[in-house]
Amino acid sequence: MKTVFIPLVALIVMAAACSQERTAEKINADLVKTKKQITELSAKMTTLEAELAIKQPITEAKITKVVVETVKKINFTDYIQSNGMVEAVRAASISPEMGGKIASIPVKVGQSVRKGQLLMVLDSKVMESGLAELQKGLEMVVTTYNKQKELWDQGVGSEMQYLQIKNSKESLESKIATINSQLDLTKIYAPFDGRIEKIAMKVGELASPGRGIIDVVNLSSLYVNTEVSEAFMQTVNKGDSVTVEFPNLPGVTRTIPIAYKGDVINPQSRTFTVRVEIPNTRQEIKPNMLANMKLRVINLPDAVVVPTALVRQDVEGSYVYIVANAGAAKAHKAYLKTGSSDGNMTVVDSGLIGGEMIISQGNNHVKEGTLVSWN
């Protein structure tokens, strides 16, 4: 058998000649023929599908059982937690204004005292002895002064003699007044009603100014300072209610207004100070106890909220499953714009208006369009 080789160039020339032979009329005719065939096939498919539907048994669509709840509108309140330490409004570590040996301490630790009650006495024997000598000297000077004054009033004697004795009299009186003031400082009194919390020294020891000897505290009025982030400067205000709890006093809670709000931001911590004052009539709360404070930072009336646990995420954002059609109930993925959250509930800024039926249980078994039912 003889093999015939046709050059490539010849094949290209032959193909070009064939393509030149297909005119527009021929191509249009082929197109009309092809469309007719497609139409006939489409009609045949429709007929076959209808015939199959009659012959094939009907299968019921799968329905998923779920639990639903209604999306509500509530007054949404959110809080922040902060800690502080209890301090007494009236507490003092008392020390004398002058040094001296302690002569007596007529109170004891744990004793209740009233304002003005004597707490401590310093030894004043030396000052009292000096005072007695000055008083005797003053008696003699006063007698001399009176006589000299009578003569002076009668025009007898020199002015210099009169002025000298007058100056001596006034000088002694001033010294006596100074010693009396110092004697007053040897007695220390309670500055307010309270309780003796501590006595740091004993009778016979030397006391000195600035060194606290007796601690007095009044438990009827306490306060707590705490530091709050500057992010809440506009939402935390004087008069807002604060809930205060004490870790070491289970069941003891106080709901009280903010008494003071600082206006200066701490540059290191970026916080400002908040103070609450705590009435303590039963005196169960003690100074230096730890306190946990719950401060309201958000209050939204009629806020649309959903349980935080039901909010999910995908590439398009946050969503929940709701029932889209009560007639043929189907799961629908509703995308949300969320706002504040307290951990349990999340505010919905957009995406829901309230009243929708949200799938609260069984949402792990549904997807968009799943038929659902509930009791």
* Res. 6 pLDDT band, cuts 50 70 90: very low
Predicted confidence (pLDDT) per residue in 341-374, tens digit: 888 899 999 999 999 999 999 888 888 888 988 8
Does 191 lie in the same domain as 134?
yes
Q: Are 134 and 200 found together in one domain?
A: yes
Q: How confident is the model at residue 255 (pLDDT cuts 50, 70, 90)?
A: very high
CATH number of the domain enclosing 325: 2.40.420.20
Q: What is the dihedral of CA 46, 51, 56, 57, to 10 degrees?
A: 100
**Could you tell me if residue 212 is inside a domain?**
no
279/343 same-domain check: no
Q: Are residues 49 and 70 in the same domain?
A: no
Q: In this structure, are 103 and 163 located in the same domain?
A: yes
353 and 320 belong to one structural domain: yes
Domain end residue (candidates: 261, 296, 331):
296
pLDDT above 60 (res 203): yes
- 337 and 352 inside one domain: yes
Q: CATH number of the domain that 100 lies in?
A: 2.40.50.100
What percentage of the chain has pLDDT greater than the value 90?
47
What does the pLDDT read at residue 1? 39
Q: Indicate whether 269 belongs to any domain.
A: yes
Average pLDDT, the chain: 85
* Domain assignment of residue 176, yes or no: yes
- Structural domain containing residue 168: 90-207
Distance CA 35, CA 269 (A): 78
Whole-number Cα distances in Å, 296 to 49, 75, 214, 244, 269: 65, 13, 40, 12, 21
CA 312 – CA 320 distance, rounded (Å): 6
pLDDT at 141: 78
In a shared domain, residues 194 and 106: yes
Over the stretch 106-131, which tens digit does the pLDDT of each residue have?
A: 999 999 999 999 999 998 887 777 77
Q: Do residues 55 and 71 both lie within one domain?
A: no
- At 294 the pLDDT is 92
- Burial pattern 19-45, b for ≥16 Cβ within 10 A else e, equals eeeeeeeeeeeeeeeeeeeeeeeeeee
Question: Do the domain assignments include residue 9?
Answer: no
Q: Is the pLDDT of residue 26 over 80?
A: yes
**What is the pLDDT, as a whole number, of residue 244?**
95
156 lies in a domain?
yes
CATH of the domain at 242: 2.40.30.170
Is 345 a domain residue?
A: yes
Give how many domains the chain has, as a whole number.
4
Q: Do the domain assignments include residue 200?
A: yes
Contact 134, 175 (CB under 8 A): yes
Q: Choose the final residue of a domain: 183, 207, 231.
A: 207
Query: For residue 238, is it within any domain?
Result: yes
- Residues 201 and 94 grouped into a single domain: yes
Band the pLDDT of 16: cuts 50, 70, 90. Answer: very low
Give me 91's structure tokens.
């507490």
The mean pLDDT of 197-215, rounded to a whole number, is: 92
Q: From start to end of the chain, where are the E strands?
A: 63-65, 67-70, 72-94, 100-104, 112-113, 118-122, 187-189, 194-199, 206-207, 214-229, 241-245, 253-261, 271-279, 290-307, 312-314, 317-323, 331-341, 345-350, 357-361, 371-373
Task: Report the number of secondary-structure helices (H) and strands (E) in the chain.
Answer: 4, 20
Using one digit for the tens of pLDDT, what is the confidence trace for 299-335? 888 999 999 999 999 989 999 999 987 567 889 999 9
Say whether both 130 and 194 belong to one domain.
yes
Do 26 and 39 belong together in one domain?
A: yes
Phi-psi region of 362 (alpha: psi -120 to 50; beta: other; left: phi over 0): left
Which whole number is the average pLDDT over 206-221? 92
Residue 15 confidence (pLDDT): 46
Nearest partner of 219 among 89, 339, 85, judged by Cα: 89
pLDDT at 192 over 60: yes
Q: What number is the average pLDDT over the span 95-106?
A: 91
pLDDT, position 179 = 80
pLDDT at 184: 84
pLDDT in tens, 30-81: 888 898 898 888 888 888 877 876 776 655 568 889 999 999 999 988 888 9
Of the three residues 266, 296, 326, the one that is the final residue of a domain is 296
What's the sign of the alpha-carbon dihedral 76, 82, 88, 89? negative
CB 239 within 8 A of CB 257: yes
Upper half-sphere CA count for residue 243 (Cβ side, 13 Å): 11
Rg (C-alpha) for the chain, rounded Å, is 49
* 216, pLDDT greater than 80: yes
